[in-house]
Structure formats: structure tokens, C-alpha cells
Amino acid sequence: MHHAFLGPFWGNVAIIAIAGAITIGCFVAMFWMIFRPGEKDPHHAKYEILRKDR
């Protein structure tokens, strides 16, 4: 798809590569946390909210 303001080829590649690498890294981290939710400490804030709320 061509556009008059397409800009330099390697500039576009750099933007897509950097933004894409960040995105893929975040996807990996997201799935990691879905499969390993953690937070077993009973004093963690997520348990405290059920007890300490007035």
C-alpha cells in the first residue's frame, strides 16, 4: 500500500521492530501472569481488602 508520506523504508522497519518487540514482550509477560497469578501471602492487599474494608 503506497502513500506519499510513507517515509524511509528503514525508518518504518525500525518503528515496527521496536514497537513490535515491546508488544511481544508484554504479551509474554501477560500470559506468564495469567498462568502464575502468585500472591499467596495472606496479608497481601488483595486479601486485606476483603477484611479491612469497614
Partner 1 sequence: MQATVTAQHSAVSAEDDRALAAVFSAYTVSATCWLLFATAVGLLLAFKFGAPDFWAAKYLTFGRLRPIHTNDTFYGWASIGLVGLAYYVAARSSGTKLYSIKLAWIGLALFNLAAVAGTIALELGYNWGDLEYREWPWPIRLVFLAALLVTGWNLIGTVARRTTEDIYLSNWYTVCGVLWTCVIAIVATLPWYQHGLGQVAISGFYMHNAVGMWFTPLALGVFYYAIPKILSRPIYSYALGVFAFWTNLLFYPLLGGHHFLFSPLPWWLQTTAIVFSVAMLVPVWGGSANYLLTMRGRYRDMTHSYPLMFIFVAVIGYLFGSTQGTVEAFRSMQAIWHLTNFTVGHSHLTMYGFVTFAVWGGIYALLPLATHKSPGRLGIALHFWMALVGSFIYVIALSIGGTIQGLDWLHQRPFIQSVTDMAPYWVWRGAGGLLMFLSHIVFAWNVWRMTSGQTGNAGSPILARTEGAAA
Binding residues for partner 1, rule: CB under 8 A, are 1, 3, 5-7, 11-12, 15-16, 19-20, 22-23, 26-27, 29-30, 33-34, 37-39, 42, 44-54
To partner 1, the closest distance from the beta carbon of 48 in angstroms equals: 6
Q: How far is CA 23 from CA 32, 34, 42, in A?
A: 14, 17, 33
Length of the chain: 54
To partner 1, the closest distance from the beta carbon of 14 in angstroms equals: 9
Residue 51: name the closest of 42, 4, 26, 36 by CA.
Answer: 42
To partner 1, the closest distance from the beta carbon of 32 in angstroms equals: 9
